[in-house]
Amino acid sequence: MDFEWTADQRRFRRRVRDLLEQLLPPDWDVRSGYDTSSRYVSEFSRTFCPILAREGLLIPHWPKEYGGEDLDPYYHWILGEELFAVGDPRSYQYMNVNWAGPAILRYGTEEQKAEHIGRIAAGTHIWCQGFSEPSAGSDLAALSTKAQRTDRGWVIDGVKIWTSGASLADFCLMLARTGPDRHAGISVFLVPMGTAGITARPIPNFMGEFSLHETTFDQVEVPASALLGAENDGWTIVRHIMHNERIGQPRYALAMRGMDRAVALLKQKGRFSGQAVRADAAKAHAALLAARSLALQVIDARAKGQAPTAFTSIARYALVSADRCVADFLGAYLREELMDRQDPLITATYRRTGSTGLAAGAAEIQLNLIGRDYLQLPKG
Amino acid sequence: MDLALSPDQASLLDAVGKLVAPFRSPPAGLRETLLTSTALDRALRDAGFRDVARFDGMGPLDAVLVAELVHALPYSVEYAGSALLSRVLGRDIDGPLALLEAPAATPTRFLQAGGTALIVDGEDARLLAIGRDAVEPVETSFAYPLGRLRPEVRGTGTRLAGAGALVRQWWAVALAAELSATARAAVDLTVDYVKDRRQFGRPLGSYQAVQHRLSECMVAVQAMQALVRRAAALGTPQAALAALVQAKEACARIIYDTHQFQGAIGLTYEYPLHFYTYRLRLLHGELGSPADCAEQLASARWGDAEVDWNE
C-alpha cells in the first residue's frame, strides 16, 4: 500500500499542467466560465482535443492498437483531475474517452471500431448519451423509446430527456427498447446526430449553457450496423457504462480549487476569522479529500483489472456528500460574490456542485445499490 | 499510488486476525460497559504487534491497519496510541499509554499505575512513568478505564524538547484510527442485526429507510478509514487533522443510527453495542471539540502559503 504518487505520475501531472498553461487563453476563466457545456468550450474542444491526441494525452489509458498509450487508469485519472480542475476543456468529449469509447472498444464489432474509434481518438467529434426519458429517470429500465427492425436496419422512435450536450454532439450512444422484457429487452445504438428525424431542444437550466436537452427521435432510420453489442443485451453495456460514469469525472478537483479560491477571497476581505466559517471550510475540505481517496480506491481496482463492485457507489456517494458541503459553504459564506458573479471559479463551483447528486444516477439509487450489493441487506 | 494490501500486510493482518479471534465476542453476564483484558494486552505485546510501526520495512500505516482490527473488538485496548508514538519517539513505552495535555488535570483513558503518560506541554512534551501513588482512578460510565494524575506529578516527567507538535499529530492519527475502527464495528454489528430482526413480517434491513441510513453510515466509515490510512502513510500534520475532522464529523450520526436500528436491546449490557458507542462518545471530544479540530485543519490548509488543490 502506497499513498504517494510515483515520480512518473508526478511528471505526467506536470506535463498536463504545462500543456494547459500553454493552450488555454489567459482569460480562459471568464470566457469559458468553467462551463463544459458552453458553445465556447465545445468549439474550443475541437481544436484542443486534437492537440491532446497528438501529445498522447487524450486516451492515454487505451490500448496502443487503438491509438492509446497503454498507461494504467491512474494516468487517465490524473489527466481527468487536471482537466476538471479547469472546467474540462474537452467539453463533452470526456464522455467519448471515459465511457462511450471504452464501451465501443469492448462491445463493438470491427466495423464499428473502424468507424468510431479513430474519430474519438483524433479528438474531433463529440458524443452525447441518450439514456433518460420523461418516464425513465432513476428507473432507467422503464424506458420506452422503441427501435424496430426493418429490411435495412432499425427505425427509432421516442423522446430522451436531460441529454447533456445533445445540440453540440455529432453522435449519440443511446438506449432503445427492442423487446418486451424489462431489462433483457433493451439495446444500445450508435446514432449520428445529423440523421433525419432527430431534434435536440436545449432546456434552460442553472448548470450550464447546453447541459440539458429534450431529444426527439421521430422515425429515425439507422443501419443495422448501428446496434452495439447483441440485440436485447443493452443492459450489460449500461452497467459497464454506469460504473465508468459514476467514478468518471473527478468533480472534487474543481470543488477543491473553488474552496481554495473561496477561502482566499474571504481572507482578503477579512471574513475568515470566526470559528464557524473556518470549521465549515475545513469540514468541506476533509469531505473532498475523503471523496478523492475513495475514488482513487476505485481507480486502483481498475488499474488491477478487478471487476467493478458496489464500492463504486460508495465512492460516488462520498463525492455527492462532499459537493453538497461545498455548495452549502459557498451559499452561506460567499453570498455577495455569488450574487454579482464576481468570480467565475466560485460561480462555476456553486453551479457544478448542484447536480452531483443527480448525474450518473440519483444519490438515492447509489444508496439502494450500497444497501443491496455491498451491505447485502434483504430485499423489501 | 497502490491502495491494495501488500503481501506482507496481508499476512500481518492474517496473523493479527487469528490472535484477536477469541476476543471478538464479549463474555456473557457482564453488567457494565467497561471490558478490558490483560490476556489480550499481553498477547498483542508478546507477539510484537505493538512494535509493528518500528519493524524493518513497516511503519505507521501498518500499525493503523492492525489498529483497524484491534479497536473493532468489544474490549477496550490501548493500542493505536502506543504503536504510533513509540515509533515517533523512537523508544519503548511501558504499559498502556495515556495521552494528555498540560495541565494534565483531566480524567484520561488508560492512565493507570504501571503505564506511561505522555503530556503535550506547549511546544514540548513530557514522558512520565506512572507510579502507584501518581494516579487516582476515576469512576466512569464510559467504556474506558479512566485515571487522573495527582496534582503533585502533573508537572513532572522527562522533557522531550520540541516534540509537542509531533506528538499532537500522531495522537490525532491514533485517535482517528480508533474512532474509525470502533465506528466500523458498530455499523457491522448493526448491519448483521437488521438482517435477522423481523418486524411487521419482514427483516428490518429490508426497509428502505433503514437501508439508506446504514448505507450512508458505511460511506462514512469508508471515508474515515481512507483518510486515516492516508494520514498514517503521508505523515503530514494536515493529513492527520483531515482524518480526525472526518472521523469526528461522522461519529455522531453513527452513534445515533446504530442505536436507533437496534432498538432497546442495544441499550442493554447484555448486547455488545454499548462497548462501541460508549467508546465513540468519549473519543468524540478528545483533542478538542470537532469544531476546534476543524479550525486547526483550516489553519494548516490555508495558512500563509499559496495552496495547490492537489497538495
Q: Is B32 on the interface with A (CB under 8 A)?
A: no
* Contact (Cβ atoms closer than 8 angstroms) between residue B302 and residue A263: yes
Percent of chain B with pLDDT over 90: 95
List chain B residues with CB under 8 Å of A264.
302
- Please name each of the domains of chain A with its CATH number: 7-126 (1.10.540.10), 128-233 (2.40.110.10), 247-374 (1.20.140.10)
**How many residues does this entry show for chain A?**
380
Please give the CATH number for the structural domain made up of B172-301.
1.20.140.10
Residues with pLDDT less than 70, chain A: none
The separation between the first and the last C-alpha atoms of chain A, rounded to the nearest angstrom, is 38
| Pairing mode of beta strands A127-130, A171-177 | parallel
* Contact (Cβ atoms closer than 8 angstroms) between residue A25 and residue A44: no
pLDDT tens across A154-179, in order?
999 999 999 999 999 999 999 999 99
Choose the mutation target among B222, B249, B289, B296 for the interface with A, i.e. most A CBs under 10 Å: B222
DSSP A224: G
Given pLDDT bands bounded at 50, 70 and 90, which one contains residue B154? very high
pLDDT tens across B28-60, in order?
888 888 999 999 999 999 999 999 999 999 999
For B173-184, what is the mean pLDDT? 98
| Record: contact B295-A280, CB cut-off 8 A | no
CA distance A109 to B253: 50
For B176-182, what is the mean pLDDT? 98
| Pairing mode of beta strands A146-149, B124-129 | unpaired
| Record: contact B233-A4, CB cut-off 8 A | yes
Identify which of B119, B100, B96, B6 has the alpha carbon closest to the alpha carbon of residue B50.
Answer: B96
Region of residue A56 (phi > 0: left; psi between -120 and 50: alpha; otherwise: beta)? left
Q: Quote the pLDDT of residue B240.
A: 98
Q: What is the DSSP string of A156-204?
A: EEEEEES-TTTTT-SEEEEEEE-SSSTTTTEEEEEEETTSTTEEEEE--
CB-nearest partner of A377 from B195, B224, B295: B195
Given pLDDT bands bounded at 50, 70 and 90, which one contains residue B86? very high
What count of Cα atoms within 13 Å lies in the side-chain half-sphere of residue B289?
6
Residue B140 reports pLDDT greater than 90: no
Give CATH 1.20.140.10 domain extents, chain B. Answer: 172-301
Q: Spell B19-42 as b/e; 16+ CB within 10 A means b.
A: bbeebeebeeeeeebbbbbeebbe
Cβ under 8 Å to A: B residues 89-148: none
- Amino acid letter, B276: Y
For B278-303, what is the mean pLDDT? 97
pLDDT tens across B200-221, in order?
999 999 999 999 999 999 999 9
Q: Is A11 exposed, middle or buried (0-12, 13-18, 19+ CB in 10 A)?
A: exposed
Given pLDDT bands bounded at 50, 70 and 90, which one contains residue B273? very high
| Record: contact B218-A374, CB cut-off 8 A | yes
Region of residue A109 (phi > 0: left; psi between -120 and 50: alpha; otherwise: beta)? beta
| Record: contact A294-B226, CB cut-off 8 A | yes
- Amino acid letter, B180: S
Grid coordinates given for B125: 512534551
What does the mean pLDDT of chain A come to?
Answer: 96
List chain B residues with CB under 8 Å of A4.
1, 233-234
Q: Quote the pLDDT of residue B30.
A: 86
Cβ under 8 Å to B: A residues 263-292: 263-264, 267, 272, 275-276, 278-283, 285-287, 289-291
| Record: contact A278-B295, CB cut-off 8 A | yes
CA distance A51 to A49: 5
